[in-house]
Amino acid sequence: MADPSAYTSSNTGSPASKGGDYLFSLNRDLKALNASVLVITQKIKFLVRNEKILGRNLIVINKRVRDIQSQVASSEAHGVSDEVRASLQELDKKVGALSQRLIEVEAKVDDVVSRSAKEEEVKELKYIVENINPLHLVTMEQAEQMLEKKNKK
C-alpha cells in the first residue's frame, strides 16, 4: 500500500483535498489488488481441475496395467501351447535373418555411395569433356611415334 505522504494534491494543498486524493489512490490500489487476487483464484481453480483430471487418468491407467498384468500371469499359468511357441521361435529366426540381410544391404549401399562420383566430380568431368575435348589429346606413345616419323624424314 502507498504511504499517505506519497500522494500529493494538485489542489490548494488543504488537508481535505489531500485526504480525498489519498482515498482515491487507496481505492484504485485496492481494486488492482482485488483484480490480481481474482486472476490468481481462477488459476488455482484451473490447476485443481487439471489435477482432478490427471488423477482420474492415473486411476484408469493403473487399472489397465493391473488388467494386463493379470492377463499375462493367467497366460503363464495356463502355459503357451507348443505350436504357438514354435511359431514365435520361427518368427524370431526370420526377423533375425531379415535384420542381418538389412545390415548387409546397408553396407552395400554405403559401399556404392562411397565409390560413386560426387556431383562436383561429375561437373568437373563434364567441363573437361566439353571444353578440353580429350579426343584431341595424344598419348605418350602416339607422341613418340610422331617424333620418330619426323626424325626419320
* DSSP secondary structure letters along 24-37: HHHHHHHHHHHHHH
Residue 74 is part of which domain span?
Answer: 1-79
| pLDDT for residue 7 | 47
148: in domain: no
Could you read off the pLDDT of 93-147 as tens digits, one per residue? Answer: 888 888 888 888 888 888 888 887 788 888 887 877 777 766 677 788 988 999 9
CA 116 to chain centre: 32
1: in domain: yes
119: in domain: no
Residue 26 buriedness (CB in 10 A; 0-12 / 13-18 / 19+): middle
28: in domain: yes
Q: Which residue has the higher pLDDT, 33 or 83?
A: 33
What is the band of 151 on the pLDDT scale with cuts at 50, 70, 90? very high
| pLDDT for residue 9 | 44
**Is there a contact between 9 and 17 (Cβ–Cβ < 8 Å)?**
yes
**Is there a contact between 1 and 30 (Cβ–Cβ < 8 Å)?**
no
105: in domain: no
30: in domain: yes
Number of domains making up the chain: 1
93: in domain: no
